[in-house]
Structure 1
Amino acid sequence: MAEPGGRATKANTTLPVRGTSDYVAIRPGFGDGSVNENGEAAVDIAIVSPNGEARAGRVQVRLVRERPTWRMTTQYGAVRYETVWRDEVVETQDVQVAPGRPARFARNLGFGRYRIVATQAGGLGTASIRVRAGWVGSESAEVPDKVDVSADRRAYAAGETARIRIAPPFAGRASVAILTDRLIATRDVEVPAGGTTVDVPADPAWGPGAWIAVTVFKPGEAPDAANTGPRRALGLAWVSLDPAARTLDVAIEGDTLVRPRGRVTVPVRVANTNGAAYLTLAAVDEGILRITRFQNPDPLAHFTGRRALGTDIRDDYGRLIVPPEGEAATLRQGGDDDLDTSGVQPPQRIVALFSGVVAVGPDGRASIPLDFPEFNGEVRLMAVAWSGERVGSAARAMTVRDPIVAEALLPRFLSPGDEARLPVLLHNLDQPSGKVPPPSRSRVRWRSPTPTSSWT
């Protein structure tokens, strides 16, 4: 693609393809694909036409529990494991939907993986959504020597007890370890084939949380048994401490549309402070942020988010296990989408403003002045606040532009003595419609990158 001035530009877009049959729509009432143990997994179900209009009809809803099994396959001459999911239908129910009245399907789920499938009766529409009861560190089930370890809740207050569900691929003795950047505690438990649950008190000394590492061992069996070798399986789950006590509520207020070439005061409100509070505010061109895929600063996630596992597991039990047939796994790193932005030179002036540290008043408010230059576009306001051990952040968009925006299509290059015609695009955004008088012939002063070299 090329803009009217001839400069190359790059953009991606997604084109939806409409079908001719009705669709079944599912709206989950839970986030992140998980609910607490014995928590309610609720969904709203509707039938929608290809034009987006709600339809009446009957929908069959199935609640399916998914259990993984594995088999050995050969791919490109190497023997690998392949996960095979086995479905167990837990419940089937027919529901009636109508425009403005979607059907609601809600069930309390025990530990495990589930899938809710909705199928239009007498039609082709179908939809499904997966939900996990319990919170895990990873949903990967690519190998059979992994213990499925999950916590009953997403986060815990200091002093509460976390119920850790252990579902191993075989019965045996498990070593349960609590890990941060070091080993906190360990205990051994007997685990039957159907799994077990252990209680772990949430300790505030963990900081943001701790990893629960489970290693299940199984000794070698009798020589006439089908599987005579010892076995071992590993699993991890992150237990997070609730960050609510360390959270500041930050809100960026003020106008969403302002004019350039002047000072704009942005009010910021901070609630739930603990003594003196401070903040910083940045206003950056949204176009630049999108080029670099910049994420909004989130100090709460930085300080209280899940940590990388800072310890390693080493033992001699692995020396007793016969290595499987196949090649060793290799670390693969993905690349970008060849988004080369080294040659991107925006013709507009780039805006990047920063307030520095600003003290928040006793009423929890602060007013930050920002001096905007000649600029027409959208900026992203990003505020970061802190007060004692509490942190918070907020972000929102602000449009900066004139009522009528003039955009000159500059030539790609000029030599001394050249004359050029500059097409000008006028965007009437706020003023009443009308005619624009023809431009008069004028001379433009150009400046080269060298300050001492200019011509008229």
Structure 2
Amino acid sequence: NSYVSETIYAWAWGDTEYSSFEVNNEGNVTIKTDKEQYNTGEDIKLLFTTPFEGRMLITLERDKVIKHLFLSTENKSASYTLKAEEMLVPNVYVTATLFRPMDDSQMPLTVAHGFRSVKVENKESKLAVSITSTEKSRSKTKQTIKVKTAPNAFVTIAAVDEGILQVKNFKTPDAYNYFYQKVALSTKSYDVYPYLMPEIKTRMSSTGGDGADESAMRANPLFVNRIKNVSFWSGIKQADANGNVSYDIDIPQFSGDIRVMALAYKQKGFGSAEEHMKVADPVVISTALPRFFSPSDEAVVGVTISNTTDKEMSANVDINVTGPLSKGNSAPQTIKIPANKEQRVVYNMSANSAIGAGKVTISVKAINETFTNETEIAVRPPAGLQKQFTSGQVKAGNDQPVDISNKFIAASARGKLVVSKSPLTAFTKDITDLVRYPYGCVEQTTSTVFPQLYYYDLVKSISKTEDGDMNPGYNVRQAILKLQSMQMSNGALTYWPGGGYESWWGTIYACHFLLEAKKAGYPVNNRTIERIQDYLVQMLKAKKTIVLYYNLNDKKEVAAKEVAYSLFVLALAGNPQHSTMNFYKAHPEILSIDSKYLLAAAYAISGQKQKVAEILPREFAGEESKSTFSGSFYSYIRDLAISLYALQEIDPDHPQVAVLSRLLSEKMRISQYMNTQEKAFGILAMGKIAQRANKTKATATVTANGKNIGSTNGDNLSIDLKPYMGQSIKMKVNGTGSYYFFAETSGITADGSFKEEDSYLRARRYFYTRSGKQITDNTFRQNDLIVVQLTLEAQYNTNIENVVLTDILPAGLEIENTRLNSMPDIDWIKNKSEADYEDFRDDRVNLFTSADGNKKFFYYMVRAVSPGTFKLGPVQADAMYNGAFHSYNGAGEIKVLQK
């Protein structure tokens, strides 16, 4: 045996005190509990360990101070026991503030802090829930779901396809953990010690509660429910005295997994559960149909029949169609299907010349049963809808024909006639375009709903009965929510939803709308408006200028149009910027004519009416601005309309009102196309005139082929014209005064024809193989991957912003992958342009961008999935703010050959 030893000598001085547990020496009070969680009625034992001796303030807090008391420490510790009461559910914060006595200690700390969250649970609040349902089922059967929970509890049951739920990783709702989740500490603590004596340790603030942030017409006009989603909801049911609830579901044509979810609640108690139901048939039918058809399309339809049993079976397969579809000479076929195998049969079918919804039904007779598979499919136009409009005024004692003649396919033709005593009816086309406008940027969203805020009755009258979302009140509320969601960290609103860049004009415009919506009684988040105001005030400090192009070839540097509009809207918000207003009043030479009207209105609204005359122009003349497609979207009509609107806001009886209204009305009447800014402000300005001038005391009657189809004594009259297409429509007025009418008809021409032309824009479409070889004959093979190239350029070397490039896919092709960079073998693409916004649909692609003299190239991929011959629509480019700028090119047909 051996050992090694070593002796070390050390000397030090100090003192200590006995402690049987670890003490924090960093200026924090450590709080410990004997359990992680408590049930109501139990004792909560708290142990405090402190860095020094002293007197300690103990509080129980959450959204307020529930209780407080004082403890004195001994041996740098203290303890306290409290009862877990109901008021402490789901958690309570125990805070400790320790004060050091004025002794001779050299410790630099004067105060120490600590807090701890203590979880408290009430077992009676957690309801037991169990689900009883069959584990396996066949399709097209009725199944009963039974739920057991607390007596007389309220229960809601849902049964949903698991595949749908997995798209967004949807979890079964857990109401108990939601309502009894940990609550953030929302009180703040303060002390004056740092102001009396210096303190080394920085203090901690209360914890935050930001976890919740984690937790038209360019679409296909014909919607069919092609895929029958399995989704059932029971509504709210009440359990009986034994806690039992049952719910019956009729399982449709379906194969897969259904998740059954149940949620129960009773008073302050909650509970939830889930079970799964497997749905499978002995015979499973899969139909390879295109997603849609166009008139005269021809397709080869493959049908796969799967035998899920362990025995061979003989099957008779047949196809039937309804609607604008034809199965041609397709006859029933008999096949043999081995056990646990599948067989494929092929049918030829086509779309007729009409458009509408059709249905394809595959029937399989096997093992003494008949199995069916039904698919709804839309026969949609290869080109867009066309519209016709007419409007006019009928004076008392006269009758007038209303021309609704057209060449539309009967199934597609529809229309509406609006009769009103309001002269605003003359601009119904513009209102209609606005309330249906399909694009979702901040400017267009606001333009869509601003007229609906003021002219509820007229908007309601012009909306078609089949437009279920045309409820003005609902639309305004939805727009408010959407605009609020577009706010950035600096208070501005993004131009596009989810976009990364702001729009100064769009932000002002949206704020104007939100202020008026709030005045009209709609719920608006005050914080949103406050943050916008902060942003506008900040932007005004830059005193930004622009070059204004006006008259024929004139230009000058002026204050940005956003400046005066910001001052006007801030004044409306009760936040006038007097110093900035005075600056521009002193420099009228840098203000455009419409900016002067807005600045004058800002002075009047802010209570300084004596300054209006100093800045208000004597007439709206001498400056006819050119149209611009970005920034503030100014144009002569918009400038005129916003000036008239501002003037009526402060003095509706001003002599200029009559002059400006006549001028604006004439400009709007003769304009072939107006952008959304011109329409919105034009309608807002003319609407104020219409409301004051509405004094008609007459009756109006509308007839179709001599038969009375509607009459009015003053209320707005709306008539669906679909039943009267092809008939002679007349309108007669009796009494004194006048009525105004507006008729709109829309539909698809029988041949799907359109005018192919380039007007200021040039758009083209080309097909390539994935290796980069151009396909010139529009012929593809099934399963081929195809690269679609869209090109866009402006003619005459002009710059055109806010252009939408639309490519309508033919049936037989489906969008494969929009992220080309992730696909192999396409490194030959070197010139790919990026769109400002992309909208990919089942049957079309919308790209939002700008155009100039340099050609832009856009790409996306499609796959040839359905053999056949299909109509190919044109590629379209439209300037969103000027319909005269457009391009339509490249219609024809494609062929997809069988593999």
TM-score, with length taken from structure 2: 0.29
Q: 2:308 and 2:213 mapped to 1: Cα distance?
A: 37
Alignment of 1:447 with 2:378, yes or no, is yes
Alignment of 1:20-419 (within 5 A): 146-168=28-50, 171-191=53-73, 195-218=77-100, 225=106, 227-240=107-120, 242-271=121-150, 273=151, 276-319=152-195, 320-322=197-199, 348-409=227-288, 411=290, 416-419=295-298
- CA displacement, residues 130-156 of structure 1 (integer Å, 9 cap, x when unaligned): xxxxxxxxxxx9x95554323322443
1:306 CA displacement? 2.6
CA gap of 1:414–1:188, structure 2 versus 1, over 3 A, is same
**8 Å contact 1:146–1:235 — kept in the other structure?**
no
Q: 1:335 and 1:389 mapped to 2: Cα distance?
A: 22
Q: 2:211 and 2:266 mapped to 1: Cα distance?
A: 39
One-letter identity of the residue aligned with 1:174: M
**SS of the residue aligned with 1:353?**
strand
Q: 1:270 and 1:281 mapped to 2: Cα distance?
A: 12
- CA displacement, residues 150-169 of structure 1 (integer Å, 9 cap, x when unaligned): 33224434443210132445
User: Can you give the 5+ residue segments of structure 2 that lack an aligned partner in the other structure?
Assistant: 1-19, 215-224, 312-338, 351-359, 361-376, 382-410, 413-747, 751-810, 812-869, 871-899
1:178 CA displacement? 1.0
**Once superposed, what is the RMSD of the aligned Cα atoms?**
4.4
**SS of the residue aligned with 1:245?**
helix
1:187 CA displacement? 1.4
Q: 1:209 and 1:324 mapped to 2: Cα distance?
A: 28
**8 Å contact 1:222–1:228 — kept in the other structure?**
no
CA gap of 1:373–1:222, structure 2 versus 1, over 3 A, is same
1:284 CA displacement? 2.2
1:251 CA displacement? 0.3
CA gap of 1:409–1:145, structure 2 versus 1, over 3 A, is farther
Q: 1:216 and 1:347 mapped to 2: Cα distance?
A: 69
- CA displacement, residues 388-419 of structure 1 (integer Å, 9 cap, x when unaligned): 44332212222233334334455577655444
One-letter identity of the residue aligned with 2:88: W
Q: 2:164 and 2:21 mapped to 1: Cα distance?
A: 44
Q: Name 1:127's counterpart in structure 2.
A: none
**8 Å contact 1:286–1:378 — kept in the other structure?**
yes
Q: 2:77 and 2:134 mapped to 1: Cα distance?
A: 57
**8 Å contact 1:251–1:270 — kept in the other structure?**
yes
Q: 1:286 and 1:169 mapped to 2: Cα distance?
A: 56
Q: 1:214 and 1:167 mapped to 2: Cα distance?
A: 10
Identify the structure with the greater helix proportion: 2
Q: 2:230 and 2:27 mapped to 1: Cα distance?
A: 53
CA gap of 1:200–1:399, structure 2 versus 1, over 3 A, is same
One-letter identity of the residue aligned with 2:84: A
**8 Å contact 2:306–2:342 — kept in the other structure?**
no
253-262 or 286-295: bigger deviation = 286-295
CA gap of 1:400–1:220, structure 2 versus 1, over 3 A, is farther
**SS of the residue aligned with 1:260?**
coil
**8 Å contact 1:170–1:192 — kept in the other structure?**
no
> % of aligned pairs identical?
26
User: Can you give the 5+ residue segments of structure 1 that lack an aligned partner in the other structure?
Assistant: 1-109, 113-140, 338-345
**8 Å contact 1:405–1:427 — kept in the other structure?**
yes
Structure with larger RCO (C-alpha < 8 A, sep 6+): 1
- CA displacement, residues 165-201 of structure 1 (integer Å, 9 cap, x when unaligned): 3244555443211123321211122345764432112
**8 Å contact 1:220–1:231 — kept in the other structure?**
no
**8 Å contact 1:151–1:239 — kept in the other structure?**
no
Q: 1:235 and 1:381 mapped to 2: Cα distance?
A: 42
TM-score, with length taken from structure 1: 0.54
Q: 2:153 and 2:206 mapped to 1: Cα distance?
A: 50
Q: Name 2:392's counterpart in structure 1.
A: none
**8 Å contact 2:160–2:231 — kept in the other structure?**
yes
1:356 CA displacement? 1.3
Choose 1 or 2 for highest CA Rg: 2
CA gap of 1:411–1:203, structure 2 versus 1, over 3 A, is same
Q: 2:288 and 2:193 mapped to 1: Cα distance?
A: 71
Q: 1:410 and 1:216 mapped to 2: Cα distance?
A: 75
1:250 CA displacement? 1.1
CA gap of 1:207–1:332, structure 2 versus 1, over 3 A, is closer
Q: Name the count of aligned residue pairs.
A: 303
